[in-house]
Structure 1
Amino acid sequence: MTARQALGGQQATEVTLRAAAADDIPELLELIHAAYRGEGGWTTEAHLVDGRRTDADEVRAMLADPQVTLLVAESGGELAGCCYTRCEPMGVDGAGRAELGLFAVHPAVQSRGYGGRLLEAQVELLRGIGAQVLQIQVLQGRPELQDWYRRHGFTPVGRAVPFAGDPEWLKVAGLGMDVMERHLR
């Protein structure tokens, strides 16, 4: 079942959740840059990281990858948010895992519940295919983000990984990513 079929154009108050499409890429890039590197939103990393969060080629590759579900939240005909999950091979512990990433809500509409709706839509899709653990890597130095993820069922696993982007972009040398997980069963 595709994300579009599972969601069926699901609407919640002011937002429609749907699978991203190739013609969304330019607007997705603007949304992601505004949320991660822009000013005004509580999710910005501009004080910690320079550079673009993603590019058109990376988003195209996500759309072409059968293991990835890239959802968008649309409001008033414009993209308000997005996030992807990538299903991973079965772990040594026998658990089906997925990675959550590229999670962004436009600063102009943050704190309206779009992020929670996107997250829960991904969780339902993952449960439907038998995934048991959802994992995310959260940039260190962002306790407010970790608190948001905790409120949404994630717990730190006590492990950090290196920053996934170009280390030259870091404004704080040595900054890494804290790993958090949410059990889906």
Structure 2
Amino acid sequence: METRTQDGLTFRTAADADVPELVRLVESAYRGDASRAGWTTEADFLEGQRTDEKGVREVIETPDSVLLVVEREGELVACCQLQHRGDHAYFGMFAVRPVLQGAGLGKVIIAEAERRVRELWGAREMRMTVVNVRAELIAWYERRGYRLTGETSPFPYGQERFGVPLRDDLAFVLLVKDLD
């Protein structure tokens, strides 16, 4: 996959050497006190890990999957997973360094992700799942053209690999955007 620079950001495919730093980025964006510096924290309803080195390597090694690394001035500032799933692409593992959240990076990154899945796989639709209690995050995606489908899937309670829930009402909601 190409390396591309846009708006002072460099986009490239993750390599195995990136794994430890990617784990730190994802964890800092979603869990623990460090995540509270940004607005995407899940620390109020999930403890424990968001991902681990094994999980990140699986994303990198999965066929028809790309873990997109975003750097600014050589520093890793964000990442996202793109996966080809038949007639659509899946967008996941989106993380922006907490101190940089709210500065417009997310808009640029998601636009690049959408461009890439159209170009790479001819995807006509992007899908993602978001934890149902993340109203502000769901609203952010809706402002980018994603829509709630009404479909939900259960949260993997009891699988600490995905975190330790602090509430018993968690589920994932499906959001979809037409890319035509």
Note whether the superposition's TM-score is higher than 0.5: yes
How many angstroms apart in 2 are the aligned matches of 1:164 and 1:59? Answer: 18
Moved >2 Å (runs of 4+):
164-168
Does the CA-based 8 Å contact 1:73-1:114 persist in structure 2?
A: no
Percent identity, please: 35
Higher relative contact order (CA 8 A, sep 6+): 2
1:25 aligns with 2:14: no
Q: Which runs of 5+ in 1 are unaligned?
A: 90-95
> Structure 1 residues 165 and 35, CA, compared in 2 at 3 Å: closer, same or farther?
farther
Give the structure with the higher percent strand: 2
Residues 78-118 of structure 1 deviation map (CA, whole Å, 9 limit, x = unaligned): 211110111113xxxxxx11111000101011122222222
Aligned partner of 1:109 among 74, 80, 100: 100
**For the residues of structure 2 that align with 1:9 and 1:125, how far apart are their CA atoms?**
11
Q: Counterpart of 1:99? A: 90
Q: Secondary structure at the match of 1:10?
A: strand
Which residue among 40, 43, 48 is the counterpart of 1:43?
Answer: 40
Deviation, structure 1 residue 72: 1.4
Aligned: 1:141 with 2:133: yes
Aligned-pair CA distance for 1:77: 2.1
**Structure 1 residue 9 displacement after superposition:** 2.8
Aligned residue-pair number:
173
Report the TM-score, using the length of structure 2 for normalisation.
Answer: 0.90
Which one-letter code corresponds to 1:125 in the other structure?
A: R
Q: State the distance in 2 between where 1:170 and 1:29 align.
A: 20
1:177 CA drift (Å): 0.8
Pick aligned residue for 2:50 from 34, 50, 53:
53
1:181 aligns with 176
Task: Verify: 1:72 aligned to 2:63, yes or no.
Answer: no
| Alignment correspondent of 1:172 | 167
**Offset, 1:142:** 1.0
Pair 1:121 & 2:112 matched:
yes
| Cα distance in 2, alignment partners of residues 74 and 103 from structure 1 | 14
The whole-number CA distance in structure 1 between the counterparts of 2:104 and 2:98 is 12
Letter in 2 for 1:151: R
Of 152, 165, 168, the residue aligned with 1:160 is 152
Question: How far 1:167 moved relative to its partner?
Answer: 5.7
TM-align CA RMSD: 1.5
CA distance in 1 between partners of 2:111 and 2:63 (Å) = 20
AA aligned to 1:157 is T
- Under a length normalisation based on structure 1, what TM-score does the superposition of the two structures give? 0.88
Shift of residue 43 of structure 1?
Answer: 0.1
Q: What whole-Å deviation, never above 9, does each CA across 1:48-85 have from its counterpart, x for those lacking one?
A: 11121111111111111221111111123221111011
